[in-house]
Structure 1
Amino acid sequence: MKKYHPVDSLQSPRFSGVSTFMRLPHVRTLEDVDFVVVGQPFDTATTFRPGCRFGPRGIREASSILKAYNPVLDVDLFEHLSGVDYGDIDIVPGYLEESHTRITEGMSPIFESGVTPVILGGDHSITLPTLRALRRHHGPVSLLHFDAHSDTSSDYFGKPYNHGTPFYWAMEEGLINPETSIQVGMRGHYYSKDCHDYALNKGMEIITGWELHEIGIPAAIERIRERIKGTKVFLTFDIDFMDAAYAPGTGTPEIGGFTSYEALRLVTESCLGQNMLGMDLVEVLPDLDHAQITALAAAGVIHAFLSVLAKNKTA
Structure 2
Amino acid sequence: MSGKNQPISGNDLARFSGPGSFMRLPYANDLSDLDVAVLGVPMDIGTSWRSGTRFGPKQVRAESAMIRPYNMGTGAAPFDSLQVADIGDLAINTFSLADSLKIIEASYNQILQYDVIPMGIGGDHSITLPILRAMHEKHGPLALVHVDAHADVNDEMFGERETHGTVFRRAYEEGLLIPEKVYQVGLRGSGYTAEDFTEAQGWGFQHFPAHELWHRSLSTLGGEIRRDIGADTPIYVSYDIDSLDPAYAPGTGTPEIGGLTTPQALELIRELKGLKIVGCDLVEVSPPYDTTGNTALTGANILFELLCVLPGVAYR
Contact (CA 8 Å) 1:3, 1:32: kept in 2 or not? no
Q: Residue 251 of structure 2 is aligned with which of 245, 249, 252?
A: 249
For 1:82-121, what aligned pairs fall within 5 Å after superposition?
82-121=83-122
Contact 2:78 2:314 in 1 (8 A): no
The number of residue pairs the alignment matches comes to: 314
How much has 1:80 moved relative to structure 2?
Answer: 1.1
Decide which structure has greater helix share: 1
Report the 3-state secondary structure (helix = DSSP H, G, I; strand = E; otherwise coil) of the residue aligned with 1:30.
coil
RMSD: 1.6
Q: Give the distance between the partners of 1:95 and 1:191, measured in 2 at CA.
A: 28
Q: Which moved more, 1:277-286 or 1:2-11?
A: 2-11
Using the alignment, how far apart are the partners of 1:143 and 1:78 within structure 2? 25
Question: What is the rounded CA distance, in whole Å, between the counterparts of 1:89 and 1:295 in structure 2?
Answer: 19
Please, which runs of 5 or more residues in structure 1 have no aligned partner?
Answer: none
Structure 1 runs, 4 residues or longer, greater than 6 Å off: none
Contact 1:81/1:310 (8 A) holds in 2: no
Give distance in 2, aligned partners of 1:263 and 1:291: 20
| SS of residue paired to 1:291 | coil
Contact 1:22 1:64 (C-alpha < 8 Å) held by counterparts: yes
Do the aligned partners of 1:242 and 1:259 also contact (CA within 8 Å) in 2? Answer: yes
2:242 corresponds to which residue? 240
Q: CA deviation at 1:215?
A: 5.5
Aligned to 1:141: 142
What residue number does 2:180 align with? 179
Contact 2:179 2:205 in 1 (8 A): yes
* Counterpart code for 1:219: T
Higher mean displacement: 224-233 or 134-143: 224-233
| DSSP 3-state at the match of 1:251 | coil
Q: Is 2:294 aligned against 1:303?
A: no
Please report how far the alpha carbon of residue 197 of structure 1 lies from its aligned counterpart in structure 2 after TM superposition: 2.1
Which residue of structure 2 lines up, in the alignment, with residue 18 of structure 1?
19
CA contact (8 A) 2:275 2:311 kept: no
Which stretch shifts more, 222-231 or 28-37? 222-231
Q: What is the TM-score of this pair, normalised by structure 1?
A: 0.96
Paired residue secondary structure (2:144): strand
* Length-normalised TM-score, structure 2: 0.95
Q: Which amino acid aligns with 1:148?
A: A
Deviation at 1:19, TM superposition (A): 0.9
Q: For 1:184-230, what per-residue CA distance to the aligned partner results, in whole angstroms no more than 9, with x for missing partners?
A: 01012222222322211111111111112266423322332233223
